[in-house]
Amino acid sequence: MMKIVLLEHINKLGQMGDIVDVRSGYARNFLLPFKKALRATKENINFFKEQKSILEAKNLENKKEAEVVKAKIDGKSFILIRSASDTGALYGSVSSKDINEIVTADGIEISKNQIKLEKPIKELGVYKIIVSLHSDISAEIFINVARSIEEAKLQEIGEKLDKADITETVDEKATINKMFDDENMAEKIGNQEEESDNSEISNDSIKQTLEHSSKVPSKNSSEEEVKISTDQK
């Protein structure tokens, strides 16, 4: 491990001025040669404190330059012609160096260390690659690896169709869900209306029964009327 002082913000490491421990290989191969850090010696720490305002101004300038580069390459596609088998397996592989060369050939200056390729590309296809232009700025490019320009065009069309299918599938699913929601709501409303109708029918039946009962004379009432009639005679 090596103790270093950061000269700019580094993702997953720290902010400018932080003193951190990193693997020696990472420091020697990337951080130190690209002036993103210094060995955390007493002299270098004092140097950083003296130069902090200058380093902050330079970092701001680098960030503006990164934004300019991003505007040029973000979302851009690059075609790489390679030999491959009938199954699509490449004879060889595509590395960060290959990607850097084709991007640079297009007039855009970046280094291979800025290309975030997790592993070499070994098959035909369209690949999304992240380019780290600054600690706070990155761009996406697409590398279309094909055996010919015609095949690259077909792969690009296929990629667009796949994205369209995904979007269409999501839209269809949302529509179906909405239909089910509407049906459930309609069924719920129908059940409520049916319950309401049944309640009204029940109330009407009760009213009719009560009215009928009030019109039918009781047995006691009939006997009293007969008795009164007999007495009068």
Residue recorded with tokens 């690896």: 145
Of 45, 66, 87, the residue that ends a domain is 66
Q: Which residues, 6 or more positions from 84, have their beta carbon under 8 angstroms from its beta carbon?
A: 90, 91, 123, 124, 147
Of 139, 157, 175, the residue that ends a domain is 157
Q: CA triplet 27, 29, 32: central angle to 5 degrees?
A: 50
Domain enclosing residue 150, as ranges:
77-157
What is the CATH number for 32? 3.40.5.10
SS3 231: helix
Q: 36 with 7: CB under 8 angstroms?
A: yes
* Domain total of the chain: 2
- Is the pTM above the cut of 0.85? no
Instruction: Specify which residues 14 forms β-bridges with.
Output: 10
Q: Are residues 59 and 83 in the same domain?
A: no
Position 12 scores a pLDDT of 86
Q: What is the rounded average pLDDT for all residues in the chain?
A: 81
What is the CATH number for 108? 3.10.430.100
CA atoms of 175 and 187, how far apart (whole Å): 18
Give yes or no for residue 7 having a pLDDT over 70.
Answer: yes
Give yes or no for residue 130 having a pLDDT over 60.
Answer: yes
Position 74 scores a pLDDT of 96
